[in-house]
Amino acid sequence: MLDIKLIRENPEYVRKKLKDRNEDDSIILKLQEIDGKRLEIIKKAEVLKEKRNKVSDEIGIMKRNKENADGKIAEMKKVSDEIKSYDEELRKVDEEIEKELYYLPALPDDKVPFGKSADDNVEKIVCGEKLHFDFKVKDHVELGKMLDILDFERGTKISGSGFPLYKGKGATIERALINYMLDTHIANGYKEILPPILVNRASMEAAEKVPKFEEDMYRTVPDDLFAIPTAEVPIINIHRDEIFKQDELPLKYCGFTNCFRREAGSYGKDTKGFLRVHQFNKVELINFCQPENSYEEMEKMVIDARRILDGLKVHYRIIELCTGDIGFSASKCYDIEVWSYAEDKWLEASSVSNCTDFQSRRAKIRYKKILEGGKTKTELVHILNGSGLATSRLMVSILESNQTKDGHIVVPEVLKKYTGFEII
């Protein structure tokens, strides 16, 4: 959620940033108007409330002295009615502002490259060896079927398209990958979390997923619980409405969960195998930190995600998303893409975002900043999230790049101690 104060005090800046994102900025004019109205109502109501409080105290004293206070009571009855109507107006205006704020995205950082679409994203670095095969590479769906480790047809029978079924060594290598990632992150200072994967509406709102993306979420009807699209949601909500001490930051969590996305609006796109699925596995990294350190922490998170790929010897690249392509809650975002030899293209496997105070404002996650002279000030933390990483597209790259001419898969070195076998 954006700060209404920023819109009040610096509307031109906000409008420019929204335009950079290809967003409609006319909403700011509307918000300024409603906000102005809101302040007017507050002022009027507060003058009356002050009067009511004062006179009510006087009435109390008069009653105690057995004096007649009927006149004052009659007068205050009128004042009270007036207050009620102002409060009613205020409620409506608050609701209107809230409604607009729910749909306004985070503002891009000044250093983010300007661009209209994904085509304008900037490639930062390409890593890992790109392999050359002296045979025709098989894609992951074919390999999965041949080796009987992935069964997309039966996954479809059980649930629908986009719900992969892992079997035998396929299930084992998936589990190995998750353990490898978690162990690596834990060794690098992240605390492991295994959170609930159904969350309530308040948690979804605090993480800025709902109402804006409600259509993309799976929702249970009788209880109004949402299947999480990412572990980011429950992990952020661990600290909803809490205030950290400064020395508790940065606070780093990692967590494995299943993730669920309806992918509404992308039917017919990348439907093959793992390329776009409704349920997938992901190890997520979350970092709560002081605002002045967040961009530095972001670079560290990219290193933490890359460590996984370097270990697996995957060919990957990092791109910085341009202003037109960064996600709703992020001020800056890097994507990590792995190379698919069979698809002959890059696949997004991770995304590291600095959401600054966009989520912490809605979630009310703050910390006591220590000022000079030992005084403290409560300030919003910055929240960063990064996948470290999602397994499905990573698995595409792993299966493809470790295949042999006769159709087997060599288990990557770092996973062997987790799988207990070396070849599939």
Residues that bind RNA (CB under 7 A): 5, 8, 39, 42-43, 46, 49-50, 52-57, 59-61, 63, 73, 76-77, 79-80, 91, 243, 366, 374, 376, 378
* Closer residue to RNA (CB): 117 or 220: 220
* Closer residue to RNA (CB): 39 or 264: 39
The one-letter code for the residue type at 251 is: L
* Closer residue to RNA (CB): 76 or 298: 76
* Closer residue to RNA (CB): 8 or 416: 8
Least separation in angstroms between residue 199's CB and RNA is 13
What is the spatial distance between Cα 338 and Cα 345, in angstroms, rounded to a whole number? 8
Least separation in angstroms between residue 383's CB and RNA is 17
Assigned token pair, 105: 């995205």
* Closer residue to RNA (CB): 225 or 312: 225
* Closer residue to RNA (CB): 227 or 314: 227
DSSP string, 71-112: HHHHHHHHHHHHHHHHHHHHHHHHHHHHHHHTTPPPPPPTTS
Residue of 249, 386, 373 whose CA lies nearest to 306:
386
* Closer residue to RNA (CB): 60 or 420: 60
Omega into 196 within 30° of 0, i.e. cis? Answer: no
As beta bridge partners, residue 205 has: none
Least separation in angstroms between residue 38's CB and RNA is 8
Least separation in angstroms between residue 7's CB and RNA is 11
Omega into 389 within 30° of 0, i.e. cis? Answer: yes
Least separation in angstroms between residue 77's CB and RNA is 4
What is the spatial distance between Cα 113 and Cα 199, in angstroms, rounded to a whole number? 35
What is the spatial distance between Cα 220 and Cα 71, in angstroms, rounded to a whole number? 56
Torsions phi, psi for 58 (to 5 deg): -60, -40
* Closer residue to RNA (CB): 34 or 414: 34
Cβ atoms of residues 397 and 138 within 8 Å: no
Least separation in angstroms between residue 354's CB and RNA is 22
Tokens 């920023």 — which residue? 6
Least separation in angstroms between residue 43's CB and RNA is 5
Least separation in angstroms between residue 66's CB and RNA is 12
Least separation in angstroms between residue 204's CB and RNA is 16
- With a CB cutoff of 8 Å and minimum separation 6, the contacts of 370 are 246, 376
Q: Give pairs for 222-225: CB < 8 Å, separation 24+.
A: 224/200, 225/198, 225/199, 225/200
* Closer residue to RNA (CB): 22 or 258: 258
As beta bridge partners, residue 339 has: 346
Least separation in angstroms between residue 180's CB and RNA is 28
Antiparallel, parallel or unpaired: β 243-245 and 366-370: parallel
Judging by beta carbons within 10 Å of its beta carbon (0-12, 13-18, 19+), is residue 347 exposed, middle or buried? buried
* Closer residue to RNA (CB): 52 or 219: 52
As beta bridge partners, residue 226 has: 199, 219
Assigned token pair, 422: 């070396």
What is the spatial distance between Cα 356 and Cα 381, in angstroms, rounded to a whole number? 7
* Closer residue to RNA (CB): 40 or 142: 40
DSSP letter at 407 equals S
Least separation in angstroms between residue 111's CB and RNA is 27
